[in-house]
Amino acid sequence: MTLPGSPHIAWRGDDLFIEGRSVAQLARAHGTPLYAYSKTSMLAALASYQRALVGRDHLICYAMKANSTLAVIQTFAQAGCGFDIVSGGELERALAVGVAASKIVFSGVGKTRAEMQRALEVGVMCFNVESEAELDLLSRVAASAGKTARVSLRINPDVDAGTHPYISTGLKGNKFGIAHQDALANYLRAAELPGLEVVGIDCHIGSQITDAGPYLDALDRLLDLIEAIEARGIAIRHLDLGGGLGITYNDEAPPSAEALVKSLLDRIDARGHGHRKLMFEPGRSLVGNAGVLVSEVLYLKPGREPDGDPAGAGKNFCIVDAAMNDLMRPAMYQAWMKIVACRARHEPPMRFDVVGPVCESGDWLGKDRELAVHAGDFVAVLSAGAYSMSMASNYNTRGRAAEVMVSGDQVWLIRDREPVESLFAGEHLLPS
Ligand SMILES: *Cc1c(COP(=O)(O)O)cnc(C)c1O
């Protein structure tokens, strides 16, 4: 049986392996809940973008909010990536790894004055500005610091909702970006304001997009704008098409990054914009399929026999030691993520809701899953490399999971399990 996602996370006989290591053995060695990542899978995902961009002036900026663990940032930094950040905290993570500020773009709708000051001080490559008010504040902050902020305006291209209803950030009526009808006026304003230098244009139309259509629509709108802006004498040096490419959680079949980028390049070349520096900000598509969340089955709780009340017909619960605080995607987005036993049992499966220990009915990892498991077995949630550990919380005073990185037969602990003392170390009792 093949698994969705990465070829580096696969069965060897009855055991689930991540590259050359048994997932159950990793769980025994490091405890659970445990995030385990395939480094080869991350680099292969990046290579798909890189292959399409060979010979072009480009920068792939990993959107680190997908997974901002230092060793993950380091992996992409060593492979030549730049980074897309959305907070001052992410900026400090990148700097802590030794990333050059000149390879960092700063996105986000709510940058604070302090975040702008710090980003100017270290000299980030570009601010992706999302509103007119932000443009004004950035101008004032930069001018008073005696710095120049390089800016790109994030355009909301309002790509057709009728044909692409799953796109969530590139439509008018959401909080992201500057409406494309207002773009030219904002560029003219940016060119006048002190402390700003226009360098590019960007968009980011959504996430988990599984076909090229909306990207091509957005690209056309941006190219139209570039032509209109440059006709007014403002040079646009780079074109940043954001992130958003989907991955396979179950049976989705997104284009490869290579195929997507090639189709975008064809359009860019056909319209005579092939000389521009190109940027992408992939997050999920670089790390999502590379990770698993490993958890131990604590209890099986069989459902009650139906007692005349159809609604009371028994559900079976598989209670595991990972919870919504470790993996929020199912609770937050009703996301479907595949769950497998780390060691196959040759017995008939039962149907379970896989749930965690947190005191919320929303605390589930998967519903109606066929599993053959006993208490003490390990299960793995697949495609948990993106928006998983980076969204973990301490709800129910649960420390965050440990993380390991695997490459071939090698394994490195890249984050310690969070010790319980640290969860309230910064708190203060009232005077008695
Ligand atoms: C989140 C985000 C990305 C990455 O999105 P993915 O769907 O993970 O590829 C890129 N750019 C911006 C501005 C973002 O907010």
Is the same domain home to 275 and 313?
A: no
Domain boundary among 282, 307, 339: 282
The two structure tokens encoding residue 106: 């700063």
Considering the domain architecture, whether residues 272 and 337 belong to the same structural domain is answered as no
For 180, which DSSP code? G
**What value does the mean pLDDT take over residues 198-227?**
96
Across the range 300-313, mean pLDDT stands at: 70
Asked if residue 410 and residue 298 are part of one domain, the reply reads yes
* Closest-CA residue to 287 (of 135, 64, 30): 64
Residue 31, in any domain of the structure = yes
Asked if 77 and 98 count as a contact pair (C-beta separation under 8 A), the reply is yes
Q: How far apart are CA 348 and CA 30, in angstroms?
A: 30
Share of the chain above pLDDT 90, in %: 91
DSSP 282-328: -SHHHHGGGEEEEEEEEEEEPPPPP-S-GGGPPPPEEEES--TTT--
What is the per-residue pLDDT for 168? 61
Distance 40 CA to ligand 1 centre (A): 22
Burial grade of 132 (CB within 10 A; 0-12, 13-18, 19 or more): middle
Pocket flag, ligand 1, residue 158 (CB < 6 Å):
no
The verdict on residue 14 lying in a domain is yes
pLDDT given for residue 158 in this prediction? 87
Task: Find all residues with CB under 8 Å of 380, minimum gap 6, and list them.
Answer: 16, 23, 292, 293, 294, 295, 339, 340, 342
157 and 262 together in one domain: yes
Are 137 and 206 within one domain?
yes
Expressed in angstroms and rounded, the spacing between residue 242 Cα and the centre of ligand 1 is 6
Q: Flag whether 78 is in a domain.
A: no
Confidence check: pLDDT of 234 > 90: yes
Which pLDDT band holds residue 174 (cuts at 50, 70, 90)?
confident
pLDDT, tens only, 337-390: 999 999 999 999 999 999 999 988 899 999 999 999 999 999 999 999 999 999
Is position 79 within any domain? no
Chain CA centroid to CA 212, Å? 19
If asked whether residues 161 and 201 sit together in one domain, one would say yes
Q: Hey, what are 42's tokens? A: 């991350």
Domain-located, residue 296? yes
Convert the pLDDT of each residue in 83-112 to its tens digit.
999 999 999 999 999 999 999 999 999 999
**Same domain, yes or no: 272 and 309:** no
Please tell me if the CB atom of residue 48 comes closer than 6 angstroms to any atom of ligand 1.
no
Measured from the CB, is residue 400 less than 6 Å from ligand 1? no
Alpha carbon distance 358, 324 (integer Å) = 7
Ligand 1 atom at minimum distance from 286 CA: 9
Measure CA 208 to chain center: 10
Q: Are 199 and 249 in contact, with CB atoms under 8 Å apart?
A: no
Active-site option among 126, 203, 318, 359: 359
Q: Would residue 53 count as lying in a domain?
A: no
Residue 204 CB less than 6 A away from ligand 1: yes
Examine the fold and report which residue of 228, 256, 282 is the final residue of a domain before the chain moves on. Answer: 282
Structural tokens at position 182: 């207002």
Cβ of 242 below 6 Å from ligand 1: yes
CA of 198 to the centre of ligand 1 (A): 22
Average pLDDT (44-73) is: 98
CA-to-CA separations, 47 to 42, 52, 65, 310, in angstroms, rounded: 9, 9, 20, 52
Whichever domain contains 235, its CATH number is 3.20.20.10
Residue 312: band (very low, low, confident or very high) from pLDDT cuts 50, 70, 90: low
CATH number of the domain bearing residue 316: 2.40.37.10
Which pLDDT score, from 0 to 100, does residue 361 have? 86
Q: Tokens 């992706």 belong to which residue?
A: 128
* Structure confidence at residue 167 (pLDDT): 56
Query: Which pLDDT band holds residue 176 (cuts at 50, 70, 90)?
Result: confident
The Cα-based distances of 43 to 128, 194, 195, 283 in angstroms read: 26, 41, 38, 13
Segment 128-133 mean pLDDT: 97
Cα separation of 82 and 104, whole Å? 6
Q: Does 277 lie in the same domain as 312?
A: no
| Catalytic residue list contains 359 | yes
Query: Which atom of ligand 1 sits closest to the CA of residue 207?
Result: 7
Atom of ligand 1 nearest to the CA of 243: 9
Q: What percent of the chain has pLDDT over 70?
A: 94
| 272-286: pLDDT as tens digits | 999 999 999 999 999
For residue 372, give the amino acid letter.
A
> What residue owns the CA closest to ligand 1's atom 3?
243
- 26 and 130 in one domain? no
Q: Decide: 282 in ligand 1 pocket, CB within 6 A.
A: yes
What is the distance between the alpha carbons of residues 211 and 18, in angstroms, rounded to a whole number?
Answer: 28
Mean pLDDT of the 57-64 span = 98
Query: Is residue 187, in this structure, part of any structural domain at all?
Result: yes
Cα 360 to averaged position of ligand 1 atoms, centre (Å): 29
Q: How confident is the model at residue 304 (pLDDT cuts 50, 70, 90)?
A: confident
Give mean pLDDT, residues 134-156.
98
Closest Cα to residue 107, out of 186, 202, 172?
A: 202
The Cα 16–Cα 13 span in angstroms is: 8
**Under DSSP, is residue 392 helix (H, G, I), strand (E, B) or coil?**
coil
Separation of CA 217 and ligand 1 centre (Å): 18
Alpha carbon of 287 to ligand 1 centroid (Å): 12
- Number of domains, the chain: 2
pLDDT in tens, 6-31: 999 999 999 999 999 999 999 999 99
Q: Which atom of ligand 1 is nearest to the CA of 246?
A: 7
- Which of 48, 67, 107, 168 for mutating ligand 1's site (highest number of atoms within 8 Å of CB)? 107
Give the DSSP letter of residue 6.
-
User: Which of ligand 1's atoms lies nearest the C-alpha of 206?
Assistant: 7
Whole-number pLDDT of residue 173: 67
> In the predicted model, is pLDDT for residue 409 greater than 80?
yes
Residues 153 and 173 in one domain: yes
CA–CA separation, 161 vs 29, rounded Å?
48
Tell me what pLDDT residue 159 has: 86
Average model confidence (pLDDT) across the chain: 95
Residues 129 and 162 in one domain: yes
The domain of 259 spans 107-282
> Confidence band (pLDDT; 50, 70, 90) for 238?
very high
Q: Does residue 306 lie within any of the structural domains?
A: yes
Whether the pLDDT of residue 152 is over 70: the answer is yes
The residue from 227, 254, 282 where one domain ends is: 282
Q: What's the confidence (pLDDT) of residue 194?
A: 98
Considering the domain architecture, whether residues 208 and 302 belong to the same structural domain is answered as no
Q: What pLDDT does residue 388 have?
A: 98
What is the distance in A from the centroid of ligand 1 to the CA of 425? 33
